[in-house]
Amino acid sequence: MMKKIVSYLTIICLLLVTFSCGGGGKSSQGTSPVTISASFKSFATLSNAALRAAASALLTSVRYTVSGSGMDTMTDTVPVTGNLVEFTLEVPNGSRRHFLVEAMDASGNVLYRGETYADLNGAPVTITITLVPIGATSNDCLSAVNQGKVIEAKDLCVSAAYTYGTTKSNEADTARFFAALSRVAALWYNQASDGNPNNGLLTTGDILDAFGCSVFGRDPGNPDFTCPDILPSNSPTGGELKTFINNVMRPEIEGAIANLNNVSQSFNINWIEPIDGTTVESDFGDVLTLRALCKSLLASIIIENSYNLDGDFDLKHPYTFGAFLADNPNFLKLSNTSELSVAQNYLSGASDDTLSAINWIQAETDDQNNDFINLFDQTSAEINNAKEHINEGKTSLTGSVNLYNNEEKTQVSGTLNLTNFFIGMDLRNFLPTYSGDIPGFFPAPTFNGIWTNYTPGTNNDPNFDDDKDGIPDFFENHTIK
């Protein structure tokens, strides 16, 4: 299931990146007016006394806590009125400000909790936070997971993770692991249509509605929906999609990583995988694997935020890539370097977690037939080769690594060094000239020192053109129409 979900989420990220809007941020000095709108989550079934007590309690106040790098923590309380709390704060500008909201009764008992992150650059921001009741247990969480109720499981498992706090137990670790897994899975599973394509972008279903995709075929386990070749004229703008990425997707992935960071190495649980309906076992190897995937997804989102991707593909049809580039002269230009090093660190951490996951799984001595994540399909040679490539990729993040054409490592294909990419470089300057959908040669095939020491005129050369048609083989069969 996890591989499928991550594949689908990666596709979503790439599609949203394609249509989303970059652009530089405002000054990091000063403050931003932040309106926090908090509502209360209610569960269809209140399975235990703690949840029932939270649902029936008289809430009197909400405590907010805002924290982040380079700012003093802000905390205070505001009164509760009805089922909605809304207030505005002036918060120091900066990236990934953490907003924690807790609802309390008259005795100061915290009964509901919710949190999210936001980037602040001086512009007004509205943050929507759904507060979940505290009191769910790992059994509540696991029951929803085993029934395939992914959306409900997300809320119950997050609630359970809050319930256990810093408690060290397998029950607490179960809540944390499934809080993380369901946070990520729910992004993909929440694709049902609400029938209104114009009421904002809060779920994957809203995205599909807004792009005119069919309601039929929205099966998360076996998606078969269709989207029109010509996008609706009221398709979401780049800015709206970028807001969805940053305000919906990114906080859930960050929350998943935070949950996984608190899972103990002794974690172990059997559960029913919802897509196949089979009973599987999860342990710390799965924790490491999921955390690596979350870090990779988060890095891709951060990199997207660093570039100007302002473009509207629904203006014309047909619309050649050359015409699109001419109409959008700032597309792929660097707009913000402040978080590229953060993405670099996440990719390095993803490499470490992947290697640790492989080593953990290899070291297991129990029966692996029912493991959620396993290496059954890989030979020892393939696993060792994968480890080697992961290490090479990690090395290339901060330095040079030679890549080879053969297993014996006697034929160097070239040297990869991504350092300059994470310092920041305008990708637009490295695009070839396009004639319609037909690309020419790369103007600087070393890409500012990223790919060097290759032999010109070989298939390691980005401009290699074996059939002499004036198009680098790299682009053959990769045109945009």
- Which residues does 356 contact at the CB level (< 8 Å), separation at least 6? 288
Assess whether pLDDT exceeds 90 at residue 39. no
Q: Which whole number is the average pLDDT over 11-21?
A: 49
Q: Which whole number is the average pLDDT over 153-162?
A: 95
- Is residue 9 assigned to a domain? no
Q: Which whole number is the average pLDDT over 326-348?
A: 92
- Is residue 37 assigned to a domain? yes
Q: Tell me the whole-structure pTM to 2 decimals.
A: 0.87
> What's the pLDDT tens digit per position in 45-80?
556 666 766 766 788 899 999 999 999 999 999 988
Q: Over the chain, what is the mean pLDDT?
A: 88
- Is residue 302 assigned to a domain? no
Nearest Cα to Cα of residue 98 among 132, 129, 68: 68
| Domain ranges, residue 198 | 28-236+250-262
> What's the pLDDT tens digit per position in 437-456?
999 999 999 999 999 999 99
> What's the pLDDT tens digit per position in 239-284?
788 888 888 899 999 999 999 999 999 999 999 988 788 999 999 9
**Residue for token pair 């049902």:** 192
> What's the pLDDT tens digit per position in 353-369?
999 999 999 999 887 88
- Is residue 128 assigned to a domain? yes
Assess whether pLDDT exceeds 50 at residue 22. no
> What's the pLDDT tens digit per position in 182-199?
999 999 999 999 887 777
CA separation for the pair 93, 70 (Å, rounded): 9
CA separation for the pair 8, 1 (Å, rounded): 11
Assess whether pLDDT exceeds 70 at residue 202. yes
pLDDT at 25: 47
CA separation for the pair 145, 147 (Å, rounded): 5
Q: Which long-range contacts (CB under 8 A, 24 or more apart) does 326-333 make?
A: 330/22, 330/428, 331/428, 332/307, 332/308, 332/426, 332/427, 332/428, 332/431, 333/22, 333/307, 333/308, 333/426, 333/427, 333/428
Q: In one letter, which amino acid is 229? A: D
Assess whether pLDDT exceeds 50 at residue 477. no
> What's the pLDDT tens digit per position in 380-438?
999 999 999 999 999 999 999 999 988 888 899 999 999 999 999 999 999 999 999 99
Assess whether pLDDT exceeds 60 at residue 481. no
- Is residue 409 assigned to a domain? no
CATH number at residue 184: 2.60.40.2990
CA separation for the pair 301, 252 (Å, rounded): 12
Assess whether pLDDT exceeds 50 at residue 11. no
- Is residue 354 assigned to a domain? no
- Is residue 322 assigned to a domain? no
Number of separate helices (H) and strands (E) present in the chain = 13, 16
CA separation for the pair 448, 343 (Å, rounded): 19
Q: How far is CA 102 from CA 82, 99, 110, 381, in A?
A: 15, 10, 6, 51
State how many domains the chain has.
1
- Is residue 144 assigned to a domain? yes
Residue 196: both structure tokens together: 């209104």
